[in-house]
């Protein structure tokens, strides 16, 4: 939906008149912009309703319910006292779940999940501190009325690149890795994304109003801000999806629902922190 809306914004801006655009064309462009978002939401609701009617979906929903019921019945608390597997106090599924990627369950529950929460919070905090507040103030270093990509289409193109990169990162996370990465590696990736802060702040930024930007311009080429935005978005989608998909594998099956809620809370905290940093700092 984000890519579709960003694309709609780019197209409506492209269709408009860049010089002295009349109010009617502005209103028409705004109407088309929000109409696209409304259509995307309607398609999503319709898809959700139709999904529950598919035999494929109902089959896997029933299969998951039966597997969860089987794991519950096979746990030590639900085994008869004469069951040989109950004598050691652990069932085979629980024994297998005690180790993930070489970690012991107690260690991952205390450290691994906490690190994943911190990683997703930092990941979205860095992104929202720069996008869209700072990136929308980046301008072309070679503005020319003959090339609209250096004038009124420069910022919308950045939005399209960000949403395309974010989508690409999420798709890549669905393909690789297949198992949960080590928490320290995920956190290291989130920390390395801090490099985007100076990279973007050192582009050609023109704040709204008469005030001058407080940093010099190191990247005096239009390709740099677009490249930085694309890389920031791709890593954001990749690391964010990895954290949200694999964090629950470090906890017991019965705790995964609540852990998903905690991960969502960490994501929201990161987004909120990033927005406040962007609002009150830049």
Question: Tens digits of per-residue pLDDT, 230-260?
Answer: 999 999 999 999 999 999 888 888 888 888 9
- To the nearest 10°, the Cα dihedral for 22, 25, 28, 29? -110
Q: Which residues pair with residue 103 across a beta bridge?
A: 100
Q: Does 39 have pLDDT greater than 90?
A: no
Task: Give the tens place of pLDDT for each residue, 91-102.
Answer: 444 334 444 444
pLDDT band of residue 117 (cuts 50, 70, 90) is very high
Q: Does 140 have pLDDT greater than 90?
A: yes
What pLDDT, on a 0 to 100 scale, did the predictor assign at position 67? 62
What pLDDT, on a 0 to 100 scale, did the predictor assign at position 50? 87
Higher pLDDT, 68 or 36: 36
The whole-angstrom separation of Cα 266 and Cα 273 is 10
Q: Does 182 have pLDDT greater than 60?
A: yes
DSSP 10-78: HHHHHHS-SSS--HHHHHHHHHHHHHHHHHHHHHHHHHHHHHTT-HHHHHHHHHHHHHHHHHHHHSGGG
Of 267, 4, 2, whose CA–CA distance to 132 is shortest? Answer: 2
For residue 99, the SS3 value is: strand
What pLDDT, on a 0 to 100 scale, did the predictor assign at position 96? 44
The whole-angstrom separation of Cα 181 and Cα 120 is 14
The whole-angstrom separation of Cα 26 and Cα 35 is 14
Residue given tokens 């190191």 in the structure block: 218
């Amino acid at each position: 939906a984000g890519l579709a809306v960003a694309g709609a914004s780019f197209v409506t801006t492209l269709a408009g008149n860049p010089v002295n655009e009349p109010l009617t064309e502005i209103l028409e462009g705004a109407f088309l912009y929000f109409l696209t978002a409304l259509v995307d939401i309607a398609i999503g609701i319709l898809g959700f309703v139709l999904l529950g009617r598919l035999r494929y979906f109902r089959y896997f929903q029933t299969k998951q319910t039966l597997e969860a019921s089987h794991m519950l019945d096979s746990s030590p608390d639900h085994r008869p006292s004469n069951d040989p597997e109950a004598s050691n106090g652990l069932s085979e599924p629980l024994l297998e779940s005690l180790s993930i990627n070489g970690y012991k369950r107690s260690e991952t529950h205390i450290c691994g999940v906490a690190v994943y929460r911190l990683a997703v919070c930092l990941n979205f905090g860095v992104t929202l501190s720069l996008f869209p507040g700072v990136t929308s103030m980046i301008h072309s270093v070679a503005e020319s009325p003959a090339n609209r990509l250096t004038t009124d289409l420069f910022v919308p193109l950045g939005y399209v690149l960000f949403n395309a990169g974010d989508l690409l990162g999420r798709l890549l996370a669905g393909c690789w890795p297949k198992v949960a990465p080590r928490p320290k590696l995920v956190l290291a990736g989130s920390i390395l994304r801090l490099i985007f802060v100076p990279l973007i702040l050192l582009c050609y930024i023109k704040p709204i109003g008469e005030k001058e930007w407080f940093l010099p311009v190191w990247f005096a080429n239009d390709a740099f801000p677009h490249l930085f935005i694309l890389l920031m978005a791709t890593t954001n989608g990749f690391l964010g999806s990895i954290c949200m998909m694999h964090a629950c594998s470090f906890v017991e099956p019965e705790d995964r629902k609540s852990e998903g809620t905690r991960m969502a809370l960490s994501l929201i905290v990161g987004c909120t922190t990033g927005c406040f940093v962007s609002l009150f700092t830049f």
